[in-house]
Amino acid sequence: MKRKLRIAWSVGCGIACLLLVALWVRSYWVYDRLRLPSSLGRTFVQLANGTIKSVYFTPTFRVGWAPLSGWQSFPAEALSVDEMEERLYFYSDSNFTQTGFPQWIPVLILATFVGLPWLPYRFSLRTLLIATTVVAVGLGWIVYAIRN
């Protein structure tokens, strides 16, 4: 039974990884925007130029404004999405929050989850120290990338 669960987990994560790769490639030709419903403001998730960008803001006026949700797609040439770069960033002020990251990050995470159930359950102290070092270096790299 455990083997079937491992196979199901690996296949599910592999399919999700392939779908993310397809969205990543599509983002260079098509600008996609998902508008999420929110009672206090507007929330967007945008995919363009290999970057995932999340934007939340509170409008200063609400006359005739109704929160809409849905998926919109535009040709990349129709909009100026050149400001979206493949890098990590975070910006926030009183009524506007914006985060962005390259699309290869969730692809890498899902690709890691594909092989995760096939790792041995027992490991040595050396393996634990190596894994801790890799995680610390990765987090340090993320902080460095955000600040520069």
* Three-class SS of the chain: CHHHHHHHHHHHHHHHHHHHHHHHHHCCCEEEEEEECCCCCEEEEEEECCEEEEEEECCCCCCCCCCCCEEEEEECCCCCCCCCCCCCEEEECCCEEEEEEECHHHHHHHHHHHHHHHCCCCCCHHHHHHHHHHHHHHHHHHHHHHHC
Q: Can you give the pTM of this predicted structure?
A: 0.67
Q: 88: closest CA among 53, 119, 135, 138?
A: 53
Tell me the per-residue pLDDT of 87-117, one tens digit each, with 9 for 90 and over: 777 887 877 888 888 888 999 998 888 888 8
The pLDDT value recorded for residue 86 is 64
Tell me the per-residue pLDDT of 43-53, one tens digit each, with 9 for 90 and over: 888 888 888 88
The pLDDT value recorded for residue 95 is 78
Do the beta carbons of residue 84 and residue 140 sit within 8 Å? no
The pLDDT value recorded for residue 62 is 58
Give me the phi and psi of 91, to 5 degrees please.
Answer: -140, 140
